């Protein structure tokens, strides 16, 4: 009874902060969450070695925008600001812009309350303007006021960025003319065809051309946001933010690598899906076309034709991509000798691995490890 009275008399998070603010309790006041089963450490803080210059990040969204395009990059900036701690002013403040302040439904079903209509925003107060993508881009392209406003933003904000098919809005406003840019891999060809003045890079995760940035689809907007944090501060802060969000700081490879493992999932239970999983588990085995064809009881010629139709790539290219992905992960996560990695991943020797690595990534395995090993920049 005594213990029960003690719990009953304890001030709850609701009492401390008010019920409507409860959703912030664990994130912002985790040191106060000491109820049974709710013990959590305080939020992490970065080493206070940075000169913080407050920056306002504006996210332009619209009805049926892709949810992660909106929330993903904003979460990266928020995480970085949390890590920087209580400076005289928060490192990143956020502003959500839309055609009006009427709540809008984004792709995942959530409703967002915009802070302001885009045409009322003071561009002089915006450091970075990010344009979301998603299926709603089709309707947004017909909003001439929005397109005109994007044109006026050029030169008045420090940098402009697009996530996923948000690149179409920048393209329609002419902001990508004569520039390199990317978008979701499904739409790269269509973007290049619709806007021939753009040099579309279909394999890039994100592209910087001057003060205009673009990223590939969906979660790639978070990769771009991490790159912007790194540009504003340094690799150490961006890496710390990535670790807190359980992300790569620099995602290995380009869009075309999504991916040997993902391709296997397309036919997960079928014979080709099982074969692809077997390949991933046996990279050091004989993975020639005749050997793989035997696994699915097909002739080599028919196997190669069907494999290419099912996966969009040849057996040889799939095997090399799988071996390179595994090699890259080992270079990032382990200190294993490069020759040992080459043997374990099926290249036979370090020279063959080096040639394949340079052909695909334009960098040697040694240089890649120096840049991306888990201990780099710590």
- Of 168, 60, 57, 169, nearest to 104 by C-alpha is 60
- b/e string for 76-95 if b means 16 or more Cβ within 10 A? bbbbbbbbbbeeeebbbbbb
Give me 118's structure tokens: 């885009």
Alpha-carbon 273 to chain mean position? 26
Q: What is the pLDDT of residue 13?
A: 37
Annotated active-site residue 345? The verdict is no
pLDDT in tens, 217-240: 889 999 999 999 999 998 889 988
Band of the pLDDT at 284, cuts 50, 70, 90?
A: very high
Which comes out higher in pLDDT, residue 245 or 30? 245
Which comes out higher in pLDDT, residue 143 or 36? 143
Number of neighbouring beta carbons within 10 Å of residue 321: 20
Distance, CA of 358 to CA of 344 (rounded, Å): 19
Structure letter (DSSP) for residue 118: G
Band of the pLDDT at 375, cuts 50, 70, 90?
A: low
Band of the pLDDT at 17, cuts 50, 70, 90?
A: very low
- Of 158, 74, 73, 156, nearest to 121 by C-alpha is 156
pLDDT average, residue stretch 32-39? 49
Q: Which of 61, 164, 188, 345 is catalytic?
A: 164
Cβ-count burial of 140 within 10 angstroms (0-12 exposed, 13-18 middle, 19+ buried)? buried
Alpha-carbon 308 to chain mean position? 28
Which comes out higher in pLDDT, residue 295 or 5? 295
Structure letter (DSSP) for residue 217: S
- b/e string for 24-59 if b means 16 or more Cβ within 10 A? ebeeebeebbeeeeeeeeebeebeeebebeebbbbb
Which regions of the chain does DSSP assign to beta strands (E)?
55-60, 92-98, 104-105, 111-112, 116-117, 128-131, 159-162, 180-181, 199-200, 206-209, 212-215
Q: What is the pLDDT of residue 94?
A: 96
Q: What is the pLDDT of residue 266?
A: 53
pLDDT average, residue stretch 280-285? 93
Percent of the chain with pLDDT over 90: 58
In this predicted structure, the answer to whether residue 15 has a pLDDT above a threshold of 60 is no
pLDDT in tens, 56-108: 999 999 999 999 999 999 999 999 999 998 766 789 999 999 999 999 999 98
| Whether the Cβ atoms of residue 132 and residue 61 lie closer than 8 Å to each other | yes
- Of 184, 190, 181, 183, nearest to 210 by C-alpha is 181
Is the alpha carbon torsion for 48, 51, 54, 59 positive or negative? negative
pLDDT average, residue stretch 166-179? 98
Average pLDDT, the chain: 84
| CB neighbour list of residue 204: distance below 8 Å, 6 or more residues apart | 182, 216, 254, 255
| CB neighbour list of residue 266: distance below 8 Å, 6 or more residues apart | 273, 310, 311
Band of the pLDDT at 253, cuts 50, 70, 90?
A: low
Q: What is the CATH number of domain 55-255?
A: 3.40.50.880
Q: What are the residue ranges of helices labelled H in 188-250?
A: 188-194, 220-232, 235-244
In this predicted structure, the answer to whether residue 318 has a pLDDT above a threshold of 60 is yes
Distance, CA of 366 to CA of 84 (rounded, Å): 33
Q: What is the CATH number of domain 259-372?
A: 1.10.10.60
Q: What is the pTM of this model?
A: 0.64
- Of 6, 43, 7, nearest to 25 by C-alpha is 43
Band of the pLDDT at 251, cuts 50, 70, 90?
A: low
Which comes out higher in pLDDT, residue 262 or 22? 262
Give me 116's structure tokens: 């302001």
Band of the pLDDT at 361, cuts 50, 70, 90?
A: confident
Give the bridge partners for 60, in sequence order. Answer: 97, 131
**Of 31-35, 142-146, 337-341, which gets the smallest average pLDDT?**
31-35
Band of the pLDDT at 376, cuts 50, 70, 90?
A: low
Distance, CA of 167 to CA of 14 (rounded, Å): 43
Within the chain, all domains assigned CATH 1.10.10.60 are found at: 259-372
Q: What is the pLDDT of residue 263?
A: 55
Q: What is the pLDDT of residue 248?
A: 72
Q: What is the pLDDT of residue 16?
A: 33
Within the chain, all domains assigned CATH 3.40.50.880 are found at: 55-255
């Amino acid at each position: 009874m005594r213990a029960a009275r003690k719990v009953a008399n304890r001030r709850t998070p609701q009492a401390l902060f008010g019920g409507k603010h409860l959703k912030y309790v664990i994130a912002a006041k985790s040191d106060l969450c000491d109820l049974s089963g709710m013990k959590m450490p305080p939020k992490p803080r970065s080493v206070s070695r940075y000169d913080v210059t407050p920056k306002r990040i504006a996210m332009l969204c619209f009805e049926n925008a892709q949810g992660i395009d909106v929330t993903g990059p904003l979460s990266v900036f928020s995480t970085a600001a949390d890590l920087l701690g209580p400076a005289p002013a928060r490192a990143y403040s956020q502003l959500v812009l839309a055609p009006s302040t009427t709540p809008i439904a984004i792709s995942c079903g959530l409703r967002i309350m915009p802070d302001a209509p885009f045409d009322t925003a003071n561009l002089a107060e915006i450091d970075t303007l990010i344009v979301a993508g998603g299926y709603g881009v089709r309707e947004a392209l017909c909003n001439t006021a929005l397109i005109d406003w994007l044109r006026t933003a050029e030169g008045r904000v420090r940098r402009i960025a697009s996530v996923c098919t948000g690149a179409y809005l920048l393209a329609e406003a002419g902001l990508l003319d004569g520039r390199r840019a990317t978008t979701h891999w499904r739409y790269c060809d269509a973007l290049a065809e619709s806007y021939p003045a753009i040099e579309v890079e279909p394999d890039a995760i994100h592209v910087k051309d001057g003060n205009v940035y673009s990223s590939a689809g969906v979660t790639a907007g978070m990769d771009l946001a991490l790159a912007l944090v790194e540009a504003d501060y340094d690799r150490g802060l961006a890496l710390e933010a990535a670790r807190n969000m359980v992300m790569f700081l620099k995602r290995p490879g380009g869009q075309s690598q999504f991916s040997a493992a993902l391709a296997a999932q397309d036919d997960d239970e079928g014979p080709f899906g099982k074969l692809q999983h077997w390949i991933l588990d046996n990279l050091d085995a004989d993975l020639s076309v005749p050997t793989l064809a035997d696994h699915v009881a097909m002739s080599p010629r028919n196997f190669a034709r069907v494999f290419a139709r099912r996966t969009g790539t040849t057996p040889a290219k799939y095997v090399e991509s799988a071996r390179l992905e595994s090699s890259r992960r080992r270079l990032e996560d382990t200190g294993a000798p490069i020759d040992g990695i080459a043997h374990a991943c099926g290249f036979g020797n370090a020279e063959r691995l080096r040639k394949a690595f340079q052909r695909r990534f334009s960098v040697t395995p040694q240089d890649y490890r120096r840049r991306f090993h888990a201990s780099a920049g710590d």
